[in-house]
Structure 1
């Protein structure tokens, strides 16, 4: 079993802002935005800890902390940017309050699947743009995990038309939430650990979180009756390690290369694991009496039109959003030529 270096309840002190030295080893404390018990996150962080330790001969240790230990779930990225903590395990959209362009670096509604996202990121200029944006906030980002389409949300009632969304109090993350808000929903952002209580106490009426395996672990099948697909809002989702610039610069070039290489391997492993894990999870959700639904073609067209309007508005006001989105769109159009001729679906 993969050994997880997740720590709960550890006293936090000033040394966590950069490094802790013991026996000439560099220990980097990593604040997680996500519960460490979640499928895929658990395996990925365990693998990252173990392999970085092994391949650096114990010179570098990544110690992952549960949300609320070093920082709140929603505050991990802020604290890395400010230099208060050394590193975070999170996703770019957590910095969207600083710049909406970060949201495109988490996921793009009606955008790329995992393979196309990785192609744009590593070969189409996406990572260059991403690192420039993060550098302006004092962060060095290392892609470590990309997940397939999420479920599109859990609802207490069926959604047959856009009118059913008007006034609906729903937890939704990122740009997908902007789309639903444009269609009249009351969108609330909640860290995963707060979603269940928010539904139980009536603060929200619906919620999306992640893949079926993660939603099942979170327990959303216990508080909602209908589970919708496809996840138009997050066809793929990127997760990364985020290091404060000072933390990253203090590592040797070999140590930096090791972390990049281990993260690349984690992405490879995660793609296969994530796809294979959802079959049993979805069957279990169905076995528990949950009604699985696909969005109607009319609603999907409505969501897509609303997304186009959101993207247009953002490009008109945020040049960084425009630069990154146009980079992806140009790559997507070229990629689509190849895809139409070469893929069966």
Structure 2
């Protein structure tokens, strides 16, 4: 881990620290919203701290492969990581519920559970077991459901497909006889091009535009039932985090709070030009009918039961979220037009 050194000889317990850390990103710096916004946030942190907090952004794979960031941060081999909790499903299955959830809440409701309804405390507990401190740093609007080479007319058309899919949504697709694998963003296009996968989902239109999927797959399906909103977080090695002053910890937390609202605003605003671009490229925008959505929901209900039976933390987190949503429903139904 990069050293944290005092910049003052004061005996005060909160002596300023000079921090030079490395952040391993799962997302390329050019990936719309999640790349540039994080790099800008780190620059604002440097400026606001007069240079005493200097966290350097490293592109995917420059320090460690994206899917190895969790272990690298936990061990202290890397100071910080930028990803989504769902990437660590193989390590901590319950973390998937703090990234996105099939047929889950829209961003405002998800934020309410996280910040007020007990979600943050559960998330902290899960990470602390692995010597990691997490700071929620972005929430994104609904994703697309996926890119397909051919039109999907019936559920039978899904069977046998090889598809890149994320987190709990992948388990749902497997119930429908789709073979899934998780690939980092930069690995998806080559896999499509080589035929290693037949289809993919990745993110929202504004972010997908950066990857060129439309050059290979011309059928783009909505809605993203598997990710109606998605959290990303910065994870820090807990030992390094504890060496920071309270002021430095507060600055990092506040910077991420600011990025949550910036990311959501951009995430909504940038979808329209992206969709217009895809239409101009001959992409057909499709919406799943009720038969598909009902099949996905039924499969998700089965997956939720199975995952809860296998993992106590998953069951506890899902129960917390479901209870919050059940109570929240009266406000959702009365307060909103839709």
TM-score bin (small chain)? over 0.9
- Measured in 2, the distance between the counterparts of 1:67 and 1:43 equals 14
Instruction: Report how far residue 46 of structure 1 moved.
Output: 2.2
Deviation per residue, 1:157-192 (Å, 9 max, x gap): 111222111110001111001100111001111111
Are the counterparts in 2 of residues 176 and 233 from structure 1 also a CA contact under 8 Å?
yes
In structure 2, the CA distance between the partners of 1:309 and 1:52, relative to structure 1 (3 Å rule), is same
Aligned to 2:162: 169
- Measured in 2, the distance between the counterparts of 1:43 and 1:62 equals 15
Q: Does 2:8 match 1:46?
A: no
Instruction: Report how far residue 146 of structure 1 moved.
Output: 0.2
Normalised by the size of structure 1, how large is the TM-score?
0.93
Q: Does 2:121 match 1:128?
A: yes
The ranges of structure 1 where at least 4 consecutive aligned residues each deviate by more than 2 angstroms after the TM superposition are 17-25
Q: What residue ranges of structure 1 are gaps of 5+ in the alignment? A: 1-16
Instruction: Report how far residue 278 of structure 1 moved.
Output: 0.5
Q: Does 2:80 match 1:87?
A: yes
Deviation per residue, 1:113-163 (Å, 9 max, x gap): 111111000000000000000000110000010000001100011112221
Q: Does 2:172 match 1:188?
A: no
Aligned to 2:279: 286
- Measured in 1, the distance between the counterparts of 2:3 and 2:292 equals 50
Normalised by the size of structure 2, how large is the TM-score?
0.95
Aligned to 1:18: 2
Are the counterparts in 2 of residues 77 and 90 from structure 1 also a CA contact under 8 Å?
no
Instruction: Report how far residue 77 of structure 1 moved.
Output: 1.4
Aligned partner (choices 227, 248, 254) of residue 247 of structure 2: 254
Instruction: Report how far residue 43 of structure 1 moved.
Output: 2.9
- Measured in 2, the distance between the counterparts of 1:94 and 1:187 equals 14
Deviation per residue, 1:260-290 (Å, 9 max, x gap): 0111011111111110011100110111100
Q: Does 2:320 match 1:320?
A: no
Are the counterparts in 2 of residues 18 and 246 from structure 1 also a CA contact under 8 Å?
no
Q: Write out aligned runs for 1:1-345 (5 A).
A: 17-19=1-3, 25-345=18-338
Instruction: Report how far residue 65 of structure 1 moved.
Output: 0.3
Aligned residue for 2:35, secondary structure, equals helix
Aligned to 1:8: none
Aligned residue for 2:177, secondary structure, equals coil
Q: What residue ranges of structure 2 are gaps of 5+ in the alignment? A: 8-16
User: Aligned pairs, how many?
Assistant: 329
Q: Which moved more, 1:180-189 or 1:52-61?
A: 52-61
- Measured in 2, the distance between the counterparts of 1:18 and 1:325 equals 37
Are the counterparts in 1 of residues 27 and 35 from structure 2 also a CA contact under 8 Å?
no
Are the counterparts in 1 of residues 89 and 96 from structure 2 also a CA contact under 8 Å?
yes
Instruction: Report how far residue 21 of structure 1 moved.
Output: 5.8
